[in-house]
Amino acid sequence: MSNLPYEPEFEQAYKELASTLENSTLFQKKPEYRKALQVVSVPERVVQFRVVWEDDNQQVQINRGFRVQFNSALGPYKGGLRFHPSVNLSILKFLGFEQIFKNALTGLNMGGGKGGSDFDPKGKSDNEIRRFCVSFMTELCKHIGADTDVPAGDIGVTGREVGFMFGQYKKIRNSWEGVLTGKGGSWGGSLIRPEATGYGVVYYVEHMIKHATAGKESFAGKRVAISGSGNVAQYAALKVIELGGSVISLSDSQGALVLKGEEGSFTNEEINTIAAIKVERKQISELATTEAFSSKFKYIPGARPWTNIVGRIDVALPSATQNEVSGDEAKALIAAGCKFIAEGSNMGSTQDAIDVFEAHRDANKSEAIWYAPGKAANAGGVAVSGLEMAQNSARVNWSREEVDTRLKNIMEDCFNNGLATAKEYATPAEGVLPSLVAGSNIAGFTKVAEAMKDHGDWW
């Protein structure tokens, strides 16, 4: 509509979902769902506020704070807080919109939301970050609660920031409740929460490989290209190695670190070294020239792992940020032999890239690339956040094994739900793999739409 601001990221996310629904048989079988799409695309509430804080030089600084409370049909708003200079309302609306359907796919009682600030934690002292978090939560606490809205971490928001914000919430509200997830393990956090998104995307791809090969193959022997070097990338890489695969790349905003030659893999120790420098907010390039890394890896400034720099690829896991795989890079992945791509990041592929993947899947059978969207493949993080909420409500702590088992089951259900829904509403030709993007979009949307109808939000 012409009276609305230009919001490219949100419009991309909306069009990706809407086109999937249009190209399926959903609206033919249930034409009334068109009205549900109109309703669900408008947030229930958008909160925007100023954040005034003092830096170490006693200078007043001002940032913008946001919380997009998008949809509460299935439960309290649930979604992360992002602290990054790129944050704006379009990005948070796109993330919150995706979060609605991702949360629906977990099977847990969670609505969708997202928030954050254009504050940049990089280069800030702990005291500056604490003062910012206190100011941010002083306003945000008016709008959230364990049964209303439960934020979590995202880019720029680690356990440190969650702790600062939780402390301020508790002081103002005089209430200890599970209002934030990603908490410290000694004060309400869940085991496996830091690992959950990375582990979950690998568990999801396990089912893709098993289905596509009729159980004949696994991660064993697969060359896996991963982008990013944050929590998602780190734990996805560690799980791939545990399952017998070879991790051949990691990256950050400055460039890619890739394995030399066709043999070998990143090791657990090398991944842990990268994790350690990321805690210090340093770049991978600082490791690339050290003797331990330069003999085994090559560093390509400004590159991503999908640009013909890593040789053969069996599995690709984009795990950095949105739109990190372009249409040309999608073609390069196919040329490199990639058979499975699943997003550890949110909306990791551009629409051009998705179109390339889906066209290749439609035109081929056993040789096709199979694409899984982030709203399904990376749902493990919010799933364990939901499990953390359940533990907080019951005042219990589950073992690592129990949480991991529940995570595995959720990712299996997420895969099977998308697969079955694709077969029903986007039936592929014989021998062609079903569209996981169509199945996941339709499955998440219909669950939310049905709840909204029961609540009288549309009829």
Tell me: the pLDDT tens digits for 85-117?
Answer: 999 999 999 999 999 999 999 999 999 999 999
pLDDT at 4: 80
Tell me: the pLDDT tens digits for 263-322?
Answer: 999 999 999 999 999 888 889 999 998 999 999 999 999 999 997 788 999 999 999 999
pLDDT at 1: 46
Cα–Cα distance list, 110 to 342, 390, 448 (Å): 23, 11, 10
How much of the chain, in percent, has pLDDT values that exceed 90? Answer: 94
Q: What is the mean pLDDT of residues 241-260?
A: 96
Tell me: the pLDDT tens digits for 141-200?
Answer: 999 999 999 999 999 999 999 999 999 999 999 999 999 999 999 999 999 999 999 999
pLDDT at 2: 62
Q: What is the mean pLDDT of residues 341-358?
A: 96
pLDDT at 280: 84
Q: What is the mean pLDDT of residues 341-356?
A: 96
Dihedral sign (CA 43, 317, 365, 433): negative
**Cα-flanking dihedrals φ and ψ of residue 7, to 5°?**
-130, 80
DSSP result, 223-261? EEEE---SHHHHHHHHHHHHTT-EEEEEEETTEEEEESS
Catalytic residues, by residue number, are 114
Q: What is the mean pLDDT of residues 357-379?
A: 96
Q: What is the pTM of this model?
A: 0.95
Tell me: the pLDDT tens digits for 397-427?
Answer: 999 999 999 999 999 999 999 999 999 999 9
Strand, coil or helix: what is 364?
coil
